[in-house]
A and B are shown apart, each in its own frame.
Chain A
Amino acid sequence: MNKTAMTGMEGSLAMAEAVRLANVDVVAAYPITPQTHIVERLAEMVANGELTAAYIPVESEHSAMSACLGSSATGARTFTATAGQGLELMHEVLYVASGLRLPIVMGVANRALSCPLSVWGDHSDVMAVRDTGWIQIFAENGQQAFDLTLCAFRIAEDPKVLFPVMIHIDGFHLSHVVEPLYLLNQEQVRGFLPPFVHPFPLDPDNPVTMGAFTVPILYSEARKSMETALRSTRPLINYVFDEFAKLSGRQYKPVEHYRTEDADTLLLTMGSFSEIAMEAVDHLRDRGDKVGLIRLRLWRPFPFDELRRASENCQTLVVLDRCVSPAGPPGPVCSEVKAALYAQKKRPNVAGFVGGLGGRDLTPGEFVQMVERGKVIAAQGGEEIEFIGVRG
């Protein structure tokens, strides 16, 4: 179990500390708010000799991820971090990382997308890279930013996985907030995270061709096998979470519950707003409402079974999206949740809300409103986008 004392640390620095403890080999990164503190700290560690790693200060995020492809393919443990526009500039490179099965770990300080320009947090960037074939995990506090980054290396580099992993930490709400948390020491991390051994690295003694092109009779099979492989990582992800729990006493799950017992109404959140939603749940429970909260920890591969089990006994499921799908269904998370539940014989009515865009806070009171209003619109079918905490 954990023997280190509680310390106060910013989410970004906690993530950087996890990367240091992972003894990363290569960091290639480009500055962008609100991610900068992560890579600034890593650059500082390298400069001070606290971390022996190559820090490549690339000239764009496109090159950041491209350099990561090269270093990971050579067999080096590789990390980068980005946010918002930077994640979008990487977009096409992200598909290559998963297609070539390169276990790169990336911290994403989730940020809104232009236009209008906003450096503040929401999930627009994540949702645009949903289908890039990365394992995607959401943290909801600084402790998780640290813990899940360590889990990410272990998951990504497992020979049964070999997929890149994004750890999402909400911009500013997590990246820039100092929170009390427990660290692990180097010995503990060494026991948890074995050295990275790439099975087929770029090596003159055993030459491989990476990134061949395919014709129509092969492309589909290549994509299908990649999809099957990504889907098949689920048991290993659970296993790593369990192993991490043995080490730290902190257990993570693909879908996590808060006061869901006997709940007739459930809120569903991803990321930092989960802790505010908990306050709303406490308030509603105090006044006798049977309300609980489920949080999607794992966004990809999507935790279908856990979500179905978690929501099978409630009447209403209220989903918060921090991203707009303009003129589409009410939010990407809500759409996916609905799709996952559609074939269930016993399924809740689902209501979707869009809020918390571009760094806008949501209060516990607004979560209470979502529950109340959600019950009404869910019963009616709820196909329109419903905004929360927005004027006009």
Chain B
Amino acid sequence: MENFAVFVPRLVPQKDYFAPGHRACIGCGEALALRLVAKALGRDVIISNATGCMEIVSSPYPTTSWRVPWIHTLFENASAVASGIEAAVKIMNEKGTSKKTPKVVAMGGDGATFDIGLQSLSGAWERGHDFVYVCFDNEAYMNTGIQRSSGTPFGAATTTSPAGKVSIGQSTWKKNMPAIAVAHDIPYVATACPSYPFDLMEKVNKAVATKGPSYVHVLSPCPTGWRHAGDLSVKMGRLAVETGVFPLFEVVNGKYKLTMDFPQLRPVKDYLTPQGRFRHLPKDEVERIQKGVIREYEKLKKKVEP
């Protein structure tokens, strides 16, 4: 294990395709995740990016952080644009008008994935386009100022699900986006987190190597929206995994596999307490979240084949 820690980072490519100088917030977990994803993707890709934090911080004209071909058009259509790119690459090869075969990648935040872009993503999956979709899930519409999405967890205060005298904040449970991906019978689905960088990059590599649609769901701690200190982003990701709030797993051709299992999950309050968005929660609601997390974790473990 010690050797692993020494040598593995040296195997990571030094070249960055998401260049520094972008305008993400201090401590942005999503920018960290994107840098690692871009590293793993390498140069031979075309990226279709939905509107959102990463699009905005990376492309203020006339500057760009992108060292790979990149297109942003609208909020809800990154997967449809990727469908067009993928179809174009394929047919131009078939007709002999191009010999290039870049991997096509679509990206979006939780709003672009869970909510407004779900239809176009579902369509692209169903049609079987050979592309990777990466969801950078920071659990709310952070780019517009922390509004709730269907990826916002139960109990979190956002600007449109505020905690108040008669409200505990978000009153619904987080939509199970990886399960929706699995339900499309696509060959590769994985959850990942930049707090586990080698695992994240390995999963991206697997997604790229997959023929057909693949989905990598990346929990991306957001100090601005989660209201924790900027130097806690990596720790928050670890706590999300260690408490079972965000389990790391893969689903390869429908077969579930936990990539990180714990004999004992940490109490969920370890994850909730450092975050201002959960600050208002009374003990019984924390207990309710704890029960919900264990229930979901047990459900997930049942899906894992022995």
Contact = CB atoms under 8 A, between A and B. Distances in A.
Contacts of A208: 69-70
A96 interface: yes
Nearest to B17: A207
B73 A59 contact: no
B91 interface: yes
Contact size class for B?
35 or more
A245 interface: no
B213 to A, nearest CB: 14
Contacts of B81: 66-67, 69-70, 73
Given A28-B87, A73-B85, A211 B80 contact: no
Nearest to B48: A70
Contact of B123 (A59, A70, A100): A59
Nearest to B77: A66
A215 interface: yes
A128 B126 CA distance: 32
B91 A209 contact: no
Contacts of B184: none
Interface stretch (A49-57, A280-288, A303-311, A340-348): A49-57
Nearest to A96: B73
Contacts of B91: 25-26, 52-54, 76
B71 A73 contact: yes
Interface stretch (A32-40, A108-116, A198-206): A198-206
Interface string B49-84: 000000110011110101111111110110111111
Contacts of B76: 62
Contact of A70 (B62, B64, B84): B84
B304 interface: no
Contacts of B119: 59-60, 63
A213 B73 CA distance: 10
B59 A212 contact: yes
A68 B84 contact: yes
B92 A76 contact: yes
A228 to B, nearest CB: 18
B87 A26 contact: yes
Contacts of A390: none
A58 interface: yes
Contacts, number: 171
B61 A56 contact: no
Interface in B101-140: 102, 119-120, 122-123, 126-127
B264 interface: no
B70 A210 contact: yes
B73 A25 contact: no
Contacts of B67: 207
Given A26-B88, A76-B88, A218-B61, A204 B98 contact: no
A195 interface: yes
A100 B73 contact: yes
A92 interface: yes
Interface stretch (B39-47, B162-170, B241-249, B250-258): B39-47
B127 A71 contact: no
Given A69-B73, A215-B60, A54 B123 contact: no
B89 interface: yes
B94 A66 contact: no
Contact of B62 (A54, A59, A212): A212
B127 A56 contact: yes
A204 B83 CA distance: 17
A213 B69 contact: no
A2 to B, nearest CB: 28
B91 to A, nearest CB: 4
A202 B56 contact: no
A212 B90 CA distance: 26
Given A76-B91, A212-B59, A70 B100 contact: no
A325 interface: no
B302 interface: no
B56 A213 contact: yes
A62 B120 contact: yes
A205 B76 CA distance: 28
A157 to B, nearest CB: 14
B92 A203 contact: no
A28 B72 CA distance: 19
A71 B87 contact: yes
A52 B94 contact: yes
A210 B72 contact: yes
Contacts of B94: 52
A63 B73 contact: no
A204 B72 contact: no
A93 interface: yes
Given A53-B91, A68-B84, A70-B85, A204 B69 contact: yes
A74 interface: yes
B283 interface: no
A48 interface: no
Contacts of B295: none
A89 to B, nearest CB: 11
Given A26-B91, A71-B84, 15 more contacts: A25-B91, A25-B97, A56-B87, A63-B80, A63-B123, A67-B83, A70-B81, A70-B82, A76-B87, A76-B91, A195-B97, A203-B102, A207-B66, A208-B69, A212-B72
10 contacts: A28-B84, A54-B87, A54-B90, A66-B120, A71-B84, A78-B84, A100-B73, A202-B46, A204-B43, A222-B61
Q: Which 6 A-B pairs have the closest CB atoms?
A: A70-B84, A59-B123, A67-B84, A66-B80, A66-B77, A63-B80
Interface of B: 43-46, 48, 55-56, 59-62, 64, 66-74, 76-77, 79-92, 94-95, 97-98, 100, 102, 119-120, 122-123, 126-127
